């Protein structure tokens, strides 16, 4: 198979099914057939069928006070085309432990009101367009994360907005849900859409552009994190804010989770990145304290649990292997970039950038710690990594800190076995992940590293018993999953090292 | 009056009464007479009659499950001697809005079980000695707070511990409540006490040294913040931890607020400074975002209130004039100092130090902002400062950020009038503070600055009405006390500037 053929295919990691990419972007027939089934209904088009957009589509297709027709749109690319096909074929592209996902999806199948496509012609009929595409920060490679020279390239985002402007109605509500650099809705989205409308000879005074950020948490409460949660919104003008509010009221349980309207979209955009910067910063803050705890023979987990008794300190973070996910790893940088490039400040958000830099270095430290503590070379050592996801009990590998740890181990010539109960296929490293812990535990390892705090490892008697029965193995807990008692038991037979838990 | 006479006097800021300092430290007669009234009772001596020690004395004198005799001890110095005399004469030296203070004090008067002295002979009989003295960080002057060259001098603390060691019983429990650099109980207190006992030819194996930090909040829940709150403790050995636990159970409502026992005193000492560093850091974090908000025409107060709807983000801090009080301004430095000087690390706690540095600069920025925004020179301008305390609705001026703001205004030649409903006398600036707002508001000012978020200013219709009736005055709100609506009203007549609230 030559490269050209390969790139013409999009493969579903869920089913293994391969789809040949379409030759053109034309799906008018499919779109028109779908719309013909829903006369009189308002059309909501969602741009971006990722972790947010595809599930947002389910929520809108099952709106509370309105019957919408929903079209999801994404690129006919190897990475996305299979999602489009999957949605239309009865296989929802996002796997999650939340049973509501399948419930909502099946309900939308029954109503036939959720269609997916790649043809921007879909925008032409939309009453509301939700923008749920990614806006990435370009960092250096995971193994060498030093952040010097990170970059925010708005080109793909602008192109996506332009694709809306080339088709949309002049009275559309474009509602940005993407996490964007503060200032984007007002200074970038609105001007592009107005320019497109003008180029098409259409008026711009009915255009509405709003911003309302999602707080989606993939996992057991995926749907609830959209439908049953507080929302903050604003408009680029009063009319846009009103239109945004009206739409949100139809899909979100605003009776229990009242909406918060802010003065302008700069404020809502800032609120989102500020929220995430706050969390990223609070983790970064704990990194130095963990090192101090190790030096002072202090168990940082014990200390943090004691501090969390205070209601005002409940959310103090625990250190660990590192910070992953799509938000905390980049949002502080989006904000700092915006301050300089969209508002012309000669100051960056120094502390927030520093927070990301510290967090990015955590897996490097975790690896150095292993190298220092493990007697001998890691070359050809058999290493079992328990956990690939960045988040407990969820199968999400986006920017997982396990990546940098894995890459360093790999570079050292270790032979790595991966386990994660929630990850079948690790997209970013194009490798399968074993989900059968008992069978893995029948094999021999030199080193066992706990890299994610899944319930399957935390307090697992099975795991401890197995470890106690085997020959000496170097056990390394990077996130404080093992209890003091378990460490006590294990130490009788194995060397055990825990990040942030100083030896006494 | 010459200097020599002045220093021989200690004056009560509460009553104005002057006490002549005693010629010697001998108060054996007083102590023995007190003890004679309480045969068979355990004696608890509290070292340090400040904001913590004096009130801790009330709690111990009114212990839950034991009848203690309590002696408070402090230096016969101009700053402290009046407290000793006041306690014995029926005037409690700490003023607070908590009615329990007076209630507990009167109860101890009735039982005659709380005596104050300056004679270390009191330690000789003590079953338990609580250490509640200060341990300060030496920073540069408030007006030029750049933290370069801050210093931690343990000499006074060591001297105080030595004064205990020279008298104490070999089986005493010395319980450190002072916020100390992590490592202090184990590496400093215990060795000093053991050395003293050895010098006195006494055994050291019965000595108990524990650490349990207080979480005292001066204000309406002063007593409850000691008696009805979670406590963390540890001992320098098992015996010390047991003795500490036993004592704490007699004075704290441990049924409702269970004790947390940590592995060693390094851990409890670290927990305390970590708690406060966390808060200091979270404030520092918001400083840059406030500046960004001003640049982006965003109201940071509106943004933070929206974010606080999230249960995980409830404790996000608001920016303002600056950070005050005895803890947040120095605890991160104590920790960083300890890491380097008691544990020999070549790393400091960089982020935590940086947090203090940022916070210390807040009042400098607040002043610069005024200077930039106010048209013309501040020389000879009449300025009314609303609030001297660092904390809302409490009269506590220790390290208040108003200090640096006041000093800068003073240096610029402004004529300053101070108001604070909770502060009669500003000790650190040796000046009286007016408490009568209505009469102050009958005078003329060029500038009115809100410097503390007291209830008396927040949502005060009286204040707004007065401001609306007077000639144009420059209004400057440094902490977001004014609501959007109030700003709208005021702007019709006066220039109004608010820190962290960008002009749109």
Query: What whole-number distance in Å separates Cα of residue B78 and Cα of residue B19?
Result: 9
Residues 6+ apart with CB under 8 A from A314: A308, B315
Q: Do B278 and A183 touch (CB under 8 A)?
A: no
In this model, does residue A25 exceed pLDDT 90? Answer: yes
| Chain A residues 10-69 with a CB less than 8 Å from chain B | none
User: For position A155, what pLDDT does the model report?
Assistant: 96
Q: Are residues B226 and B368 in the same domain?
A: no
Helix intervals (H) in B8-80: 28-36, 53-61
Q: Do B274 and A307 touch (CB under 8 A)?
A: yes
Q: Are residues B203 and B351 in the same domain?
A: no
Judged by a CB distance cut-off of 8 A, whether residue B308 touches chain A is no
Chain A residues within 8 A of B232 when measuring between CB atoms? 306, 309
Judge contact between B403 and B323, C-beta under 8 A: no
User: For position B317, what pLDDT does the model report?
Assistant: 82
Q: Are residues B232 and B322 in the same domain?
A: no
**Tens-digit pLDDT profile for residues A66-107:** 999 999 999 999 999 999 999 999 999 998 889 999 999 999
- Confidence (pTM): 0.89
Chain A residues within 8 A of B282 when measuring between CB atoms? 278, 282
Q: Are residues B311 and B178 in the same domain?
A: no
SS3 content of chain B, % helix, strand, coil (to 5): 40, 15, 45
To the nearest whole Å, the CA of A334 is away from the closest chain B CA by: 13
Domain-terminating residue out of A237, A264, A291: A264
Nearest Cβ partner for A266 among B298, B305, B312: B298
Judged by a CB distance cut-off of 8 A, whether residue B136 touches chain A is no
User: For position B1, what pLDDT does the model report?
Assistant: 39
Q: Are residues B243 and B293 in the same domain?
A: no
Residues 6+ apart with CB under 8 A from B454: B386, B387, B389, B392, B393, B420, B421, B422
Q: Do B292 and A335 touch (CB under 8 A)?
A: yes
Query: What whole-number distance in Å separates Cα of residue A419 and Cα of residue A439?
Result: 11
pLDDT, average across residues A4-21: 83
| Chain A residues 230-259 with a CB less than 8 Å from chain B | 230, 232
Task: State the complex-level ipTM.
Answer: 0.90
Q: Are residues A104 and A241 in the same domain?
A: yes
Q: Are residues B328 and B394 in the same domain?
A: yes
Looking up residue A383, the CATH number of its domain turns out to be 3.40.50.720
Nearest partner of A496 among A358, A374, A384, A392, judged by Cα: A374
In a domain, A174, yes or no: yes
Residues 6+ apart with CB under 8 A from B97: B219, B220, B393, B394, B422
To the nearest whole Å, the CA of B98 is away from the closest chain A CA by: 21
What does pLDDT average to over chain A?
Answer: 93
To the nearest whole Å, the CA of A275 is away from the closest chain B CA by: 7
Nearest Cβ partner for A292 among B299, B349, B358: B349
To the nearest whole Å, the CA of A77 is away from the closest chain B CA by: 36
Domain-terminating residue out of A242, A264, A286: A264
Q: Do A298 and B352 touch (CB under 8 A)?
A: no
User: For position B146, what pLDDT does the model report?
Assistant: 54
In a domain, B274, yes or no: no
* % of chain B surpassing 90 pLDDT: 84
Q: Do B285 and A298 touch (CB under 8 A)?
A: no
Q: Are residues B261 and B290 in the same domain?
A: no
Nearest partner of B490 among B459, B471, B467, judged by Cα: B467
Given pLDDT bands bounded at 50, 70 and 90, which one contains residue B2?
A: very low
In this model, does residue A1 exceed pLDDT 60? Answer: no
Query: What whole-number distance in Å separates Cα of residue A231 and Cα of residue A213?
Result: 7
Judged by a CB distance cut-off of 8 A, whether residue B225 touches chain A is no
In this model, does residue B3 exceed pLDDT 50? Answer: no
Q: Are residues A98 and A243 in the same domain?
A: yes
In a domain, A254, yes or no: yes
Judged by a CB distance cut-off of 8 A, whether residue A84 touches chain B is no
* % of chain B surpassing 70 pLDDT: 96
Given pLDDT bands bounded at 50, 70 and 90, which one contains residue A309?
A: confident
What does pLDDT average to over chain B?
Answer: 93
User: For position A126, what pLDDT does the model report?
Assistant: 98
Q: Are residues B297 and B250 in the same domain?
A: no
For residue A189, give both structure tokens.
């989205």
Judged by a CB distance cut-off of 8 A, whether residue B292 touches chain A is yes
State which residues form the domain around B468: 282-504
Chain B residues within 8 A of A285 when measuring between CB atoms? 277-278, 281, 351-352
Secondary structure class of A45 (helix, strand, coil): strand
Domain-terminating residue out of A264, A282, A305: A264
* % of chain A surpassing 90 pLDDT: 84
Judged by a CB distance cut-off of 8 A, whether residue A266 touches chain B is yes
* % of chain A surpassing 70 pLDDT: 96
Judged by a CB distance cut-off of 8 A, whether residue B359 touches chain A is no
**Tens-digit pLDDT profile for residues A372-403:** 999 999 999 999 999 999 999 888 899 999 99
In a domain, B200, yes or no: yes
As for how many domains chain A has, the answer is 2
pLDDT, average across residues B300-319: 86
**Tens-digit pLDDT profile for residues B256-299:** 999 999 999 999 999 999 999 999 999 999 999 999 999 999 99
Given pLDDT bands bounded at 50, 70 and 90, which one contains residue A280?
A: very high
To the nearest whole Å, the CA of B22 is away from the closest chain A CA by: 44
In a domain, A329, yes or no: no
**Tens-digit pLDDT profile for residues B436-495:** 999 999 999 999 999 999 999 998 999 999 999 999 999 999 999 999 899 999 999 999
Nearest Cβ partner for B313 among A275, A291, A303: A275
In a domain, B381, yes or no: yes
Nearest partner of B349 among A289, A233, A93, judged by Cα: A289
Q: Are residues B166 and B100 in the same domain?
A: yes
Q: Are residues B230 and B379 in the same domain?
A: no
| Chain B residues 309-328 with a CB less than 8 Å from chain A | 309-310, 312-316
In a domain, B459, yes or no: yes
In a domain, B450, yes or no: yes
Select from B186, B187, B237, B267 the residue whose CB has the most chain A CBs within 10 Å, as the one to mutate to test that interface: B267
Judge contact between B288 and B262, C-beta under 8 A: no
Judged by a CB distance cut-off of 8 A, whether residue A180 touches chain B is no
**Tens-digit pLDDT profile for residues A169-221:** 999 999 999 999 999 999 999 999 999 999 999 999 999 999 999 888 888 89
Sign of CA dihedral B421, B422, B424, B425: negative
For residue B54, give both structure tokens.
């004096």
């Amino acid at each position: 198979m030559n490269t050209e053929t390969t790139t013409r295919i999009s493969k579903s990691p869920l089913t293994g099914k391969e789809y040949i990419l379409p030759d053109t972007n034309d799906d008018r027939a499919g779109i028109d057939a779908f719309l013909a089934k829903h006369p009189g209904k308002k059309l909501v088009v969602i741009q971006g069928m990722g972790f947010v957009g595809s599930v947002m589509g389910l929520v809108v297709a099952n709106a509370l006070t309105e019957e919408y027709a929903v079209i999801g749109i994404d690129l006919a690319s190897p990475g996305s085309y299979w999602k489009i096909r999957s949605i239309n074929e009865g296989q929802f592209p996002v796997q999650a432990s939340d049973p509501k996902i399948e419930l909502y999806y099946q309900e939308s199948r029954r109503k036939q009101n959720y269609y997916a496509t790649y043809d921007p012609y879909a925008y032409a009929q939309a009453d509301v367009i939700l923008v749920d595409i990614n806006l990435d920060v370009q960092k250096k490679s995971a193994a060498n994360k030093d952040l010097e020279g990170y970059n925010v390239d708005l080109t793909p985002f602008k192109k996506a907005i332009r694709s809306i402007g080339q088709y949309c109605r002049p009275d559309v509500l474009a509602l940005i849900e993407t996490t964007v650099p503060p200032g984007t809705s007002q200074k970038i989205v609105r001007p592009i859409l107005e320019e497109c409308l003008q180029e098409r000879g259409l008026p711009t005074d009915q255009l509405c552009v709003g911003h309302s950020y999602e707080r989606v948490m993939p996992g057991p409460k995926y749907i609830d994190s959209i439908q049953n949660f507080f929302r903050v919104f604003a408009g680029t003008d009063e009319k846009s804010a009103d239109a945004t509010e009206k739409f949100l009221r139809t899909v979100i349980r605003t009776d229990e989770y009242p909406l918060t309207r802010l003065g302008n979209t700069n404020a809502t955009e800032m609120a989102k990145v500020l929220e995430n910067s706050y969390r990223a910063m609070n983790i970064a803050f704990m990194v130095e304290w963990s090192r101090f705890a190790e030096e002072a023979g202090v168990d940082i987990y014990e200390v943090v649990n004691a501090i969390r008794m205070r209601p005002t300190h409940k959310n103090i973070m625990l250190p660990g292997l590192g910070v992953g996910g799509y938000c905390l790893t980049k949002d502080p940088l989006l904000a700092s970039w915006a301050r300089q490039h969209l508002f012309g400040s000669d100051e960056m958000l120094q502390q927030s950038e520093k927070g990301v830099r510290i967090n990015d270095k955590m897996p490097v430290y975790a690896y150095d710690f292993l190298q220092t503590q493990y007697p001998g070379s890691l070359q050809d050592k058999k290493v079992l990594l328990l956990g690939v996801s960045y988040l407990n009990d969820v199968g999400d590998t986006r920017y997982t800190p396990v990546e940098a740890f894995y890459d360093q181990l790999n570079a050292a010539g270790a032979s790595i076995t991966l386990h994660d109960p929630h990850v079948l296929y690790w997209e970013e490293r194009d490798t399968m992940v074993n989900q059968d812990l008992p069978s893995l535990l029948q094999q021999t390892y030199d080193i066992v590293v706990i890299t994610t705090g899944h319930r399957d490892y935390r307090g697992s008697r099975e795991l401890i018993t197995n470890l106690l029965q085997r020959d000496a193995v170097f056990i390394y807990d990077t996130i404080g999953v093992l209890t003091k008692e378990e460490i006590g038991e294990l130490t009788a037979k194995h060397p055990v090292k825990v990040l942030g838990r100083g030896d006494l």
